Structure 1
Amino acid sequence: MIQSIFDFGQTTSTFWQQCDKGLLDQQNELLEHEFFVGSKEKLIKKKFLVMSQDSIFRVSLANLKRAPLLTMHVQFIEASSDNFVQHNSDEQFFGFHLSYKGKSLEIFTSDKENYDIWKSHFKRFAILNNFHEAFLVLKIIGKGNFAKVYQATKKENNTQYAIKAFSKEYMLQQSKGIESMLNEIKLMRRLNHPNIVKLYEVHETTNSVYFVLDMIQGGQLLSRVRETGFLSAETMQKFAFNLISALNHMHENRIIHRDLKPENLLLKSIENNNEIILADFGLATNLDDEPLFKRCGTPGFVAPEIIDYIDGQEFYTDKCDVFSAGIILYLLITGNIPFVGTDQKSILKNNKLCEIDFKERHFKLAPIQMQDLIQSMLQKKVSYRLSSQECMRHPYFKQLVKEYKVQTENYQSNLLGYQEFKNAIKIGTQELEQRSPLNFNSSDSISSNISQNRQDQRKSSIVVGTSKFIQYSVKLSKQNSKEITDIPSKQEPKKTRDLHRLALTNSYLKQISNNQFENVEDPTAEDCNVGFMVRQYNSTRQIRIPDNTLKIKECNTPTILKLQ
């Protein structure tokens, strides 16, 4: 078993931890299924499990227990594998080996469709161990301060990916290195937007951690601008809308980026200059969590309130990203950043003063509404500055918002009438950034770009308005009031010593000893077929649901010179 750096050397006494029953009500999307589990007593038991984006829950009539997905390692057990459950059934069983902090659990199902759905979910939200079996690494294509990027082919579909590889030994030497990488994974898994990089998979091996990303085709934003000259008014409008739309999605999820700059904007394709991907969430944080770094960013682009922040004050808001986005738009219009200096200290001083020349010649040539939007984004006083949501409603985007709404409505209408819907979309791209942004608290910071694969999802059968735990408990109560079978025992050829039959027999005898049944047959008798004493339970009816993300073209990114 791999010694995971994400366990931080800790162990747990039990796989499942007791949790509050109301925790289920805080989950947006749930998968539910009944799995078979082999016990220490050589009995085959059923466990009703529910999975969210960050946890697996074990539901019983009396309580609710959970295990974390974020740091859980998953290995897939195919039907041909040698295991106790498979030995005692004619059906094919597929399973998962789950482990974290020194504890492990194996769960099985004969339902291939549900297995594939859970497998897809595990790939997206857990940590995998099979990188070298799944990928063929071709060549190195980039190198940064904390990681190297390789081109690799996924063997099962012959698709090309960019693999960002972190040395575990090196990351352990960095201040908050592992915590920062884990935080980045956690935040990126929560985001799903066509203009934000997406994470496909995370793998951990003995020596490395791998992020599986899309290959980049379009190149860097500033490189493209240098080649083509100033962007047209129409291109700038679409570019600004895509950028602010990505910010709005982040802010709706209570996530702030804190390191917006041209280097972290990637272009999706060679064909256009407005389809961008926002990357590098190494300094991002959730506004509801304690941040790893409180004062961080890149000089010349960081919001003044971040520079001015003092511990103990009220924490700054998501408007800090709006300011940085405004600087990027100003740069694309004028060709210059508003804050200059001979060294990093002087740049930060001017950055803090926030004196911007809105009378600059090229800026005054921009459309009036665009000038107004950028000035509203670059207000030093936070209360005067627009939020990302307010930016989306600015008159500058009036026509684009109409087009966006029509496109979204058409997309949603296509889903009506379907019980099941499969999502499959080829997503964003990313490139390893060569520079690290400045962390005002420490000389160390993590910079990484990620991409996230969209997976099939299924709705649970939960009814809105009632406690989810109560609904699951009612299901289990009804289930337990009926006759329930475990795994159908093999009929032919008969084994001289059928472990499954013995397991059911032992269970049945135990029930007899506890006076749970009256007038029952002797289960050890040859004419008593324990395997047929119950019927199999089908836990829930589930449907797949799509993401609300629109299909987009391939994408790429640029990098700007970081001010030192």
Structure 2
Amino acid sequence: MLGSDAKLYNMQSELFIEDYFVKKSKILGSNVRRFYRLQNKILYYSESSKSKYWKGFLVLDRTYVEFFEPNKQQKNINGTNNQFIIKLRSNKQTCELIAENKDQFLKWKQQFRACCFQLNFGQYYKSVKTLGQGSFGKVFIGEHQTSQVQYAIKAFKKEGLQKNDKSKKAVLNEILILQQLNHKNIIKIYECFEGQYTVYIVMQLVKGGELSNLVNQKKFKDFNEIRDLMQNLLLSLEYIHSKNIIHRDLKPQNIILKSKNSNSEIVLADFGLASYTNEIGTIYEKCGTPGYVAPEIYRFCQGYSTYDCKADIFSAGVIFMLLLTGKNPFKGKDDKETMKNNRSCNIQPYFYNQIENQDALDLIKHMLAQKPSDRYDAKQCLQHDFFKKSLTNISIPKGYFISQNINLQVYDKKLQDQKNDFPKKFVNLVSMDVSSKDSKQTKGVTDHLMYLQPAWNGFTFTLQDQSKLSVISSSKRVQMLQQEGQENENSYNSLVSDKDKVSINDENTDPSQNIL
């Protein structure tokens, strides 16, 4: 549970959890004791902790997990009522781990919940308030029934996702990317559920609203707030870029203020179009929002060279310009003109002339450099004098301004020395690939960029052109990690009642049509 018994595990860390479990041998037909390690969303096992090689492993990206505790009134899956069991299911294959005691069961339960899909959402959460809705789903504030902690919960209709392959891929992409990240300026995803009709994503609740609202209302108190905000944004970019991840849809609507009490504390959200740098050629080849797209992304779709993390820096530079001057330098009378201005990357001197501070001017020119080779990366931006000097007496355009941490723990076994790091040889790979046919090209394509209507207010899909799902294959993912170290709803419309309450009736049944 996400409460007193839940201390989420940082799956990107080199730390791990390992212990012995009892499992039923398919060959011997009897229970055997095996040694398991969970690290970086991969479950490894061997016959003993002293084994030289792992006997096999399971990638948990698209694995379902269920938990069974002793129940005097009802027998569990093994026909007994005195065992703590963790059941994993992937591609019709199942694995049942029998814990030796309740303490071990609860410790491992916390870790599996952070990286697997669960069932029976309604047993854990209740609705408090609806935030918005769209053609594919709804967003509401949900409260954990045990801890009373509130979260933002995205609920997607599976029927709609199955009919729109691109939206389905964006949802899965966001889940798999965010599960790898843990940073104070990036929206947190805590756990995911899937039922017969709906997929639920439990996320960090931030109540400050979109940055776009702040810009439109001109509510920045002083220049230092802009500096602090940009520093937090660049820190988030430096972090994801160090993981070889590109956001690819930076804009004010995807930057959320943590609270209404601060205009600079933000989180970066909406990773539906994000990509690993080595996956650019196989997913959303060209994506972003007109007015914020790096010029090399436009050229990439025309057959020119690829692009990298510096594409995000260009988008951040446009946001910086918007904060400093109140205007987007590429804004046209319509989207077509905005796209044309954006592609040409022709910024009129008028915009630069409004920036009187020379450090700010120098930084923004390096962020908006047309050639990526001339553009700063996130680290260079953060080292710029703009973030080192006091900005108390900076001149600003006249009339522009109007006056959860994840607890990281390792249980039961002390960290071993580096000699016991990942073995080089693995066998019995269990891979889980998503097979889905490409959907027909969605209407609304303008100059190779595709518009998707916002799914709901505050949580939007934007321009994209995509092909294959943005997830690393199991084998490639393992290589990268080695290198780094039901609901039974009568109808979906019943999800929200007339009083903005979510009505969820989950039963202990598997999803009849898995989205994964």
TM normalised by structure 2 equals 0.71
Identity of aligned residues (%): 33
Deviation for aligned residue 1:29: 3.4
CA contact (8 A) 2:23 2:98 kept: yes
Q: What are the within-5 Å matches in structure 2 for residues 379-390 of structure 1? A: 379-390=369-380
CA distance in 2, matches of 1:154, 1:395: 45
Give the structure 2 partner of residue 461 of structure 1: 415
Does residue 315 of structure 2 align to residue 328 of structure 1?
A: no
Amino acid at match of 1:59: S
Does residue 51 of structure 2 align to residue 58 of structure 1?
A: no
* Distance verdict in 2 for CA 1:82–1:363, change over 3 Å: farther
CA distance in 2, matches of 1:272, 1:152: 24
SS at match of 2:193: strand
Equivalent of 1:47, from 34, 41, 54? 34
SS at match of 2:224: helix
Deviation for aligned residue 1:63: 5.0
Deviation for aligned residue 1:42: 5.7
Equivalent of 1:308, from 291, 299, 302? 299
Amino acid at match of 2:37: V
Deviation for aligned residue 1:228: 4.8
* Distance verdict in 2 for CA 1:466–1:319, change over 3 Å: same
CA distance in 2, matches of 1:562, 1:177: 11
Deviation for aligned residue 1:455: 5.7
Give the structure 2 partner of residue 480 of structure 1: none
Q: What are the within-5 Å matches in structure 2 for residues 531-546 of structure 1? A: none
CA distance in 1, matches of 2:354, 2:459: 22
Give the structure 1 partner of residue 75 of structure 2: 82
Give the structure 2 partner of residue 339 of structure 1: 330
> Greater CA deviation, 120-129 or 207-216?
207-216
CA distance in 2, matches of 1:560, 1:68: 29
Deviation for aligned residue 1:559: 8.6
Amino acid at match of 1:464: Q
CA contact (8 A) 2:288 2:462 kept: no
Amino acid at match of 2:375: R
* Distance verdict in 2 for CA 1:168–1:377, change over 3 Å: same
SS at match of 1:299: coil
CA distance in 2, matches of 1:209, 1:455: 27
* Distance verdict in 2 for CA 1:228–1:313, change over 3 Å: closer
Gaps of 5+ in 2: 1-11, 391-403, 427-456, 465-516
Residue-by-residue CA offset, 1:174-230 (whole Å, 9 max, x unaligned):
133333322221111111110100101110001111011233321222323444544
Amino acid at match of 1:82: K
CA distance in 2, matches of 1:332, 1:82: 61
* Distance verdict in 2 for CA 1:460–1:103, change over 3 Å: farther
- Bigger-Rg structure (1/2): 1
Does residue 308 of structure 2 align to residue 317 of structure 1?
A: yes
Give the structure 1 partner of residue 396 of structure 2: none
* Distance verdict in 2 for CA 1:216–1:144, change over 3 Å: farther
Amino acid at match of 1:29: L
CA distance in 2, matches of 1:342, 1:561: 22
* Distance verdict in 2 for CA 1:102–1:559, change over 3 Å: closer
CA distance in 1, matches of 2:321, 2:190: 33
CA distance in 1, matches of 2:58, 2:425: 21
Give the structure 2 partner of residue 113 of structure 1: 103
CA contact (8 A) 2:127 2:142 kept: yes
Give the structure 2 partner of residue 72 of structure 1: 63
> Greater CA deviation, 129-138 or 53-62?
53-62
* Distance verdict in 2 for CA 1:139–1:235, change over 3 Å: closer
SS at match of 2:181: coil
SS at match of 1:223: helix
Give the structure 2 partner of residue 37 of structure 1: 23
CA contact (8 A) 2:86 2:96 kept: yes
CA distance in 2, matches of 1:152, 1:84: 30
CA distance in 1, matches of 2:408, 2:202: 14
CA distance in 1, matches of 2:248, 2:266: 18
CA distance in 1, matches of 2:461, 2:276: 27
Give the structure 1 partner of residue 367 of structure 2: 377
CA contact (8 A) 2:318 2:329 kept: yes
CA contact (8 A) 2:270 2:460 kept: no
CA distance in 1, matches of 2:171, 2:29: 40
Give the structure 1 partner of residue 447 of structure 2: none
* Distance verdict in 2 for CA 1:180–1:302, change over 3 Å: same
SS at match of 2:306: coil
Give the structure 2 partner of residue 351 of structure 1: 342
* Distance verdict in 2 for CA 1:200–1:454, change over 3 Å: farther
Does residue 286 of structure 2 align to residue 263 of structure 1?
A: no
Give the structure 1 partner of residue 290 of structure 2: 299
Amino acid at match of 2:332: G
Residue-by-residue CA offset, 1:417-475 (whole Å, 9 max, x unaligned):
xxxxxxxxx26xxxxxxxxxxxxxxxxxxxxxxxxx66644576332145533899xxx
Does residue 131 of structure 2 align to residue 141 of structure 1?
A: yes
Give the structure 2 partner of residue 477 of structure 1: none
CA contact (8 A) 1:44 1:85 kept: no
CA distance in 2, matches of 1:353, 1:115: 58
CA distance in 1, matches of 2:369, 2:92: 51
TM normalised by structure 1 equals 0.65
Deviation for aligned residue 1:320: 0.3
CA contact (8 A) 1:38 1:85 kept: no
Give the structure 2 partner of residue 98 of structure 1: 88
Deviation for aligned residue 1:43: 2.6
Equivalent of 1:204, from 175, 178, 194? 194
CA contact (8 A) 2:54 2:425 kept: no
CA distance in 2, matches of 1:470, 1:232: 55
Q: What are the within-5 Å matches in structure 2 for residues 123-522 of structure 1? A: 123-289=113-279, 291-310=282-301, 313-360=304-351, 363-365=354-356, 367-398=357-388, 426=404, 456-458=409-411, 461-465=415-419, 468-469=422-423
* Distance verdict in 2 for CA 1:44–1:465, change over 3 Å: closer
> Greater CA deviation, 180-189 or 374-383?
180-189
* Distance verdict in 2 for CA 1:377–1:260, change over 3 Å: same
Measured on the aligned residues, the alpha-carbon RMSD in Å equals: 3.1
Give the structure 2 partner of residue 23 of structure 1: none
Gaps of 5+ in 1: 1-25, 401-425, 428-452, 473-556
Deviation for aligned residue 1:54: 2.4
* Distance verdict in 2 for CA 1:233–1:466, change over 3 Å: same
CA contact (8 A) 2:368 2:375 kept: yes
SS at match of 2:188: coil
CA contact (8 A) 1:142 1:148 kept: yes
Deviation for aligned residue 1:231: 4.5
Amino acid at match of 1:320: A
Amino acid at match of 1:196: I
* Distance verdict in 2 for CA 1:176–1:460, change over 3 Å: farther
* Distance verdict in 2 for CA 1:250–1:467, change over 3 Å: closer
